[in-house]
């Protein structure tokens, strides 16, 4: 907190604490003023329940190999009600086929968005829309892209995962 | 712009901010003063100078926003090669004071300062003691002699000169003798600024100076190559890293962007803030 720019302090806790990622963003407080509300809108509960969003966050972070996001969001996902077996599946610790049909369709969609968005077919789009509304698919796709951005950021700057800071 | 200008004018009238825009010309310096806020020195790795266009544009925008004067500091401002010409230009926009150690005023440099004669530009020269050894212990070898050589040369060319003394352990007698000295040089008491070493930057590393309280310094928007800061004591450097605790904004162009954020910060300060520690 001692080194936090005044306008970045709104995103610090009452005791002056903040995640390593937040402290890193504070280097650019102007960007933070736009980014933090954006991330809130994208990642908080909306017309999509938090558990579904956290499932997507964990899946994309797993695909991108982001140590920080996986460590930071595992407890959030559990608190949001993501069952342990679903968490295991999206983290490749169990078979994706064990997921319920809705979650399996969503994961298939974000997998394709993350790995090769240009290869998405009309059939896959239609199959996904069998389980969620089109506006929800828009949100989840933006969420997947946003998480990829954060994954790359955390990996590039080697942001230390929660609990690993010295 | 009108709304922002009105807000600036109101904040100045309320004593929540100063009316001056500060520009950090560079972090480079030919000296390495013991209490330097910015760890400036001849060996500095990254000089982080503002470019001339940026400084002139900022002065124009400051005037449009309702600020009434400009301060230029550093680093040693005259390490920027085009400063004499820029000073004349900026002084034509708003009254300007440039802080300098006055140790680089060769005849050639003095000739380039000729357009400042009669202009609304003052050079504020650092002088910390009437004793050469004491002064030079703070500021570097031969700086006392160079300052005493430069001041008559500047005044003789019709350039306004002020003196700034930064106090760490000088005695009252020493400061009184310094006043006798500056008066003998033709500098009035009104043009002599005395302020404490502030415990930031190199001063903090060396355990010098006083800690800044939140109401010790009147906020004055301060633009550097690293961004805009709350006041000129803010963009300090310690162990090679710029302190961010008083960073307002990374974006300084247009100045409105930084000013609107600066106003949000000063809005939380009490009106009529006392200026205990004044850089000028």
- A28 lies within 8 A of chain B by CB: yes
Largest Cα span, chain B = 53
Sole residue written with tokens 């230009």: B89
Tell which A residues from 29 to 68 touch B, by Cβ distance under 8 Å: 29-31
Mutate to test the interface with A, among B199, B224, B244 (most CBs of A within 10 A): B244
**What per-residue confidence (pLDDT) applies to B270?**
72
Contacts of B267 in chain A (CB under 8 A): none
A69 and A135, same domain (yes or no)? yes
What is the nearest CA distance from B249 to chain A, expressed in angstroms?
6
* Record: contact A7-B265, CB cut-off 8 A: yes
Name which of A86, A82, A68, A85 is nearest A147 in CA terms.
Answer: A68
What is the nearest CA distance from B15 to chain A, expressed in angstroms?
20
For residue A61, what is the domain's CATH number?
1.20.1290.10
* Record: contact A3-B249, CB cut-off 8 A: no
Separation CA B149–CA B172 (nearest Å): 25
What is the torsional sign of CA B272, A7, A160, A83?
positive
Taking CA atoms, A6 is separated from A12, B49, B190, B253, in Å, by 10, 24, 35, 20
A130 and A86, same domain (yes or no)? yes
Q: How many CA atoms lie within 13 A of B126 on its CB side?
A: 27
A82 and A27, same domain (yes or no)? no
Say what the alpha-carbon torsion angle A23, A27, A28, A30 is, to the nearest 10 degrees: 70
Q: How far apart are the first and last CA of chain B?
A: 28
* Ramachandran quadrant class, A158 (left: phi over 0; alpha: psi -120 to 50; beta: rest): left
Separation CA B250–CA A74 (nearest Å): 33
* Record: contact A31-B250, CB cut-off 8 A: yes
A111 and A85, same domain (yes or no)? yes
Strand partners, B242: B237
How many domains is chain B partitioned into structurally? 1
CA angle A91, A93, A97 (to 5 degrees): 85
Q: Are A90 and A62 in contact (CB under 8 A)?
A: yes
Residue A101 CB contacts under 8 Å (≥ 6 apart), including other chains: A131
Separation CA B249–CA A85 (nearest Å): 45
How many domains is chain A partitioned into structurally? 2
- CB nearest A27 (choices: B244, B249, B264): B244
* Record: contact B248-A5, CB cut-off 8 A: yes
- A26 lies within 8 A of chain B by CB: yes
Separation CA B255–CA B267 (nearest Å): 18
Give me the tens of pLDDT residue by residue for chain B, a chain 280 residues long. 799 999 999 999 999 999 999 999 999 999 999 999 999 999 998 999 999 999 999 999 999 999 999 999 999 999 999 999 999 999 999 999 999 999 999 999 999 999 999 999 999 999 999 999 999 999 999 999 999 999 999 999 999 999 999 999 999 999 999 999 999 999 999 999 999 999 999 999 999 999 988 778 899 999 999 999 999 999 999 999 999 999 999 999 999 999 999 999 999 777 665 555 555 4
For residue B174, what is the domain's CATH number?
3.20.20.70
A72 and A146, same domain (yes or no)? yes
A23 and A95, same domain (yes or no)? no
Residue B279 lies in a domain: no
Separation CA B231–CA A53 (nearest Å): 43
A36 and A83, same domain (yes or no)? no
Name which of B221, B30, B213 is nearest B126 in CA terms.
Answer: B30
What is the nearest CA distance from B2 to chain A, expressed in angstroms?
22
Residue B148 lies in a domain: yes
Residue B183 lies in a domain: yes
- By the 10 Å C-beta count (0-12 exposed, 13-18 middle, 19+ buried), B63 is classed as middle
Whether the ipTM is more than 0.90: the answer is: no
- CB nearest B247 (choices: A2, A29, A31): A29
Whole domain around residue A21: which residue ranges? Answer: 6-43
pTM of the model: 0.90
* Record: contact B244-A3, CB cut-off 8 A: yes
- B259 lies within 8 A of chain A by CB: no
Q: What is the pLDDT of residues A22-61, one digit of tens each?
A: 999 999 999 999 999 999 999 999 999 999 999 999 999 9
CA angle B255, B256, B259 (to 5 degrees): 85
Tokens linked to A156 = 């590039």
* Record: contact B250-A3, CB cut-off 8 A: no
Separation CA A121–CA A105 (nearest Å): 14
Whole domain around residue B85: which residue ranges? Answer: 2-266
A27 and A81, same domain (yes or no)? no
A113 and A59, same domain (yes or no)? yes
Give me the tens of pLDDT residue by residue for chain A, a chain 166 residues long. 578 999 999 999 988 899 999 999 999 999 999 999 999 999 999 999 999 999 999 999 999 999 999 999 999 999 999 999 999 999 999 999 999 999 999 999 999 999 999 999 999 999 999 999 999 999 999 999 999 999 999 999 999 999 887 5
């Amino acid at each position: 907190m001692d080194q936090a720019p005044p306008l970045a302090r709104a995103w610090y806790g009452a005791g002056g604490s903040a995640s390593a990622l937040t402290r890193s963003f504070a280097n650019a407080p102007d960007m933070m003023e736009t980014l933090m509300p954006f991330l809130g809108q994208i990642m908080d509960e909306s017309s999509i329940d938090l558990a579904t969003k956290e499932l997507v966050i964990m899946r994309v972070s797993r695909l991108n190999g982001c140590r920080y996001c996986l460590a930071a969001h595992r407890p959030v996902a559990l608190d949001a009600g993501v069952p342990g077996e679903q968490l295991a599946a999206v983290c490749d610790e169990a078979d994706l086929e064990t997921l319920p049909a809705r979650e399996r369709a969503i994961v298939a969609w974000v997998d394709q968005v993350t790995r090769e968005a240009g290869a998405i077919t009309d059939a896959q789009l239609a199959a996904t829309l069998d389980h969620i509304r089109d506006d929800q698919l828009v949100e989840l796709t933006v969420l997947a892209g946003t998480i990829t951005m954060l994954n790359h950021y955390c990996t590039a700057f080697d942001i230390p995962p929660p609990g690993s800071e010295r | 712009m009108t709304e922002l200008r009105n807000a600036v004018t109101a904040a100045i009238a309320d004593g929540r901010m100063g009316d001056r825009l500060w520009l950090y010309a560079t972090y480079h310096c030919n000296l390495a003063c013991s209490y330097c806020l910015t760890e400036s020195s001849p060996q500095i790795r990254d000089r982080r100078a503002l470019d001339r266009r940026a400084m002139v544009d900022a002065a124009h925008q400051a005037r449009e926003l309702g600020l009434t004067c400009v301060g230029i500091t550093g680093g040693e401002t005259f390490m920027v090669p085009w400063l004499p010409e820029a000073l004349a230009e900026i002084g034509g926009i708003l009254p300007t004071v440039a802080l300098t150690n006055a140790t680089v005023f060769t005849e050639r440099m003095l000739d380039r300062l000729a357009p400042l004669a009669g202009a609304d530009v003052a050079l504020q020269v650092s002088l910390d003691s009437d004793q050469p050894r004491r002064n030079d212990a703070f500021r570097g070898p031969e700086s006392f002699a160079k300052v005493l050589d430069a001041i008559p040369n500047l005044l003789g060319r019709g350039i306004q000169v002020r003196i700034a003394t930064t106090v760490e352990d000088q005695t009252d007698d020493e400061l009184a003798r310094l006043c006798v000295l500056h008066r003998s040089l033709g500098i009035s008491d009104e043009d002599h600024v005395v302020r404490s070493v502030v415990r930031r930057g190199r001063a903090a590393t060396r355990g010098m100076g006083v800690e800044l309280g939140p109401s010790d310094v009147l906020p004055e928007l301060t633009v550097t190559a690293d961004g805009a800061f709350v006041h000129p004591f803010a963009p300090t450097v310690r162990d090679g890293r710029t302190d961010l605790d008083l960073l307002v904004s990374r974006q300084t162009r247009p100045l409105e962007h930084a000013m609107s954020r600066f106003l949000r910060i000063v809005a939380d300060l009490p009106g009529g803030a006392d200026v205990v520690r004044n850089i000028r």
